Amino acid sequence: MAEALRIKPAKGKLGVLTPGMGAVSSTFIAGVEAIRHGLRLPIGSLTQMGHIRLGKRTEGRQPLVRNFVPLAELSELVFGGWDIFEDNVYESCQKAGVLDRYLIEELKPVLEKIEPMSAVFDNYYVKKLDGPHVKKGTSKIALAEALREDITNFRKANGCDRVVLIWCGSTEIYLKRSDVHQSLATFEKGLTDNDPDIAPSMIYAYAALKEGIPYANGAPNLSADIPALDELAKQTGAPTCGKDFKTGQTLMKTILSPGFKARLLGINGWFSTNILGNRDGEVLDDPESFKTKEESKLGVLGSILQPELYPDLYGNLFHKVRINYYPPRGDNKEGWDNIDIFGWLGMPMQIKVDFLCRDSILAAPLVLDLALLLDLAKRANLAGIQEWLSFYFKSPVVPPELYPEHDLFIQQTKLKNTLRWMMGEEQITHLGREYYDH
């Protein structure tokens, strides 16, 4: 057996802080509370319900992931965060309208105690939003300091041994990497000079990483995905990952397209359209925020299908993604896909997918898994980009010389093999000759 990594035990409380306490964050927090109270099951969470095979198929070793790697217990989690609105988590759940009212009422005593801290926010970066619960600061560096103080105070007030930060805030406008993002020195100067290329999500990421705290980004904006913050993460020993939770339509895309490619079925066109009516939908109604999301959603197919290797099958693929803000649906999004495929001798076929999904129901277990796995990574001394957590994201962050893996099943294998590697177990290659070579 290979040697296991030295992983510090998950002792004491783990604070989970989310910048942004809207639909996803409140559904996550209420969900964990419901599970802790024995009212519901953690469906959709790999860390809570998934098993992992170890060794040969004949050995029958398939423990639960949470019994295999040393994760924080759900009973040890403490929640907090920031928002531009003052709603506590009970009120936020009510407004989001994701969970059933009876459940929210039952959890009211715990949820109403969780109140957001005042946010670092600038309406320039999220055009459709404005709120009163915002920090006043003269410079971005002062705002970063204020966030670091918030984290320290939260940690003390709640007796937390460790903390992780997961961005569940709105999608910011599209920003390109620029000079200020290239090194920690230029970034820190940019914070002092109030450089407009430093968005609020980058200030949160900076504050967390400066404290050596793991940071994940659930939205498509750059946030920690810049060389300056990668440098900082490595310097302070903080693991990072992102971007954009893989839920809904893109989840379906990364489940279906690897299957078509495996069977060498061609694709001419993939038209995706959505209606959704939550606050996220409203923010994405702004063309600048939509552009950030569109980039993230469009990248997936090209990378899975590799048209440069398969020009006859995917060289002419027309891929279109639309998001339409439609208030009557609230968080209950409907996503349609029309897929024009072709088979043997080029004969055309069509596939239609109509996914009546619940966005935050799909996202909440990802927040839980990311909090627990990033905390594990931190205790295992893994710093910087954690590509094995690509499984959870639409736009996985990778170093500049690599292309991201979007195929959900490759991502799953990578994640599980990383857990086996951490614990000194053999990698599973699925070759399987050992069962036949006697």
Among 65, 104, 160, 168, binds ligand NAD (CB under 6 A): 168
The window from 36-44, 81-89, 152-160, 190-198 that contacts ligand NAD (CB under 6 A) reads 81-89
Mapping DSSP onto H, E and C, the string for the chain reads CCCCCCCCCCCCEEEEEEECCCHHHHHHHHHHHHHHCCCCCCCCCHHHHCECCECCHHHCECCEHHHHCCCCCHHHEEEEEEECCCCCHHHHHHHHCCCCHHHHHHHHHHHCCCCCEEECCCCCCCCCCCCCCECCCCCHHHHHHHHHHHHHHHHHHCCEEEEEEEECCCCCCCCCCCHHHCCHHHHHHHHHCCCCCCCHHHHHHHHHHHCCCCEEECCCCCCCCCHHHHHHHHHHCCEEEECCECCHHHHHHHHHHHHHHHCCCEEEEEEEEEEECCHHHHHHCCHHHHHHHHHHHHHHHHHHHCCCCCHHHHCCCEEEEEEEECHHHCCCCEEEEEEEEECHHHCEEEEEEEEECCHHHHHHHHHHHHHHHHHHHHHCCCCEECHHHHHHECCCCCCCCCCCCCCHHHHHHHHHHHHHHHCCCCCCCCCCHHHCCC
64-72, 165-173, 267-275, 426-434 -> range binding ligand NAD (CB under 6 A): 165-173
**Residue 121 is a binding residue for ligand NAD (CB under 6 A):** yes
Q: Which is nearer to ligand NAD, 68 or 245 (CB)?
A: 245
Q: Is 19 a residue that touches ligand NAD (CB under 6 A)?
A: yes
CB of 318 to ligand NAD, least distance (A): 24
CA angle (18, 24, 28) in 5-degree steps: 75
Nearer of residues 260 and 289 to ligand NAD, judged by Cβ = 289
| Cα Rg, the chain, nearest whole Å | 22
Q: Should residue 362 be labelled a site residue for ligand NAD when binding is judged by CB under 6 A?
A: yes
Q: Is 274 in the site for ligand NAD (CB under 6 A)?
A: no
Smallest gap from residue 248 Cβ to ligand NAD (A): 6
Tell me the β-bridge partners of 83: 118
The size of the interface with ligand NAD (CB under 6 A), counted in residues, is 37
Q: How far is the CB of 85 from ligand NAD (least distance, A)?
A: 5
The correct pick among 15, 31, 80, 200 for binding ligand NAD (CB under 6 A) is: 200
119 binds ligand NAD (CB under 6 A): yes
Q: Is residue 279 near ligand NAD by the rule CB under 6 A?
A: yes
Residue 120 CB, nearest approach to ligand NAD (Å): 6
In the list 165, 191, 219, 423, the residue contacting ligand NAD (rule: CB under 6 A) is 219
- 92 versus 261: smaller Cβ distance to ligand NAD: 92
Indicate whether 257 belongs to the interface with ligand NAD (CB under 6 A): no
User: With CB under 6 A as the contact rule, which of the stretches 17-25, 41-49, 154-162, 312-320 interacts with ligand NAD?
Assistant: 17-25
Burial level of 359, CB count in 10 A (0-12/13-18/19+)?
buried
Least distance in angstroms from the C-beta of 118 to ligand NAD = 9
Segment lying near ligand NAD (by CB under 6 A), choices 13-21, 40-48, 145-153, 185-193? 13-21
> Which CB atom, from 92 or from 413, has the smaller least distance to ligand NAD?
92
- Return the residue of 33, 188, 225, 359 that touches ligand NAD, per CB under 6 A: 359
Q: Which residue from 48, 223, 240, 278 is in contact with ligand NAD, where contact means CB under 6 A? A: 278
For position 241 contacting ligand NAD by CB under 6 A, the verdict is: no
Q: Is 280 in the site for ligand NAD (CB under 6 A)?
A: yes
**Quick one: which of 10, 31, 45, 83 contacts ligand NAD (CB under 6 A)?**
83
Among 45, 247, 257, 390, binds ligand NAD (CB under 6 A): 247
Asked if 381 contacts 236 with a C-beta cutoff of 8 angstroms, the reply is no
C-alpha 290/C-alpha 108 separation (Å) is 34
Q: Which is nearer to ligand NAD, 206 or 245 (CB)?
A: 245
Q: Which two tokens stand for residue 143?
A: 């705002």
244 sits near ligand NAD (criterion: CB under 6 A): yes
Nearer to ligand NAD, 358 or 379 (CB): 358
Q: Is 159 left (phi over 0), alpha (psi -120 to 50) or beta?
A: left
- Binding residues (CB under 6 A) for ligand NAD: these are 19-25, 82-85, 96, 119-121, 126, 129, 131, 168-171, 200, 218-219, 244-245, 247-248, 278-280, 283, 359-360, 362-363
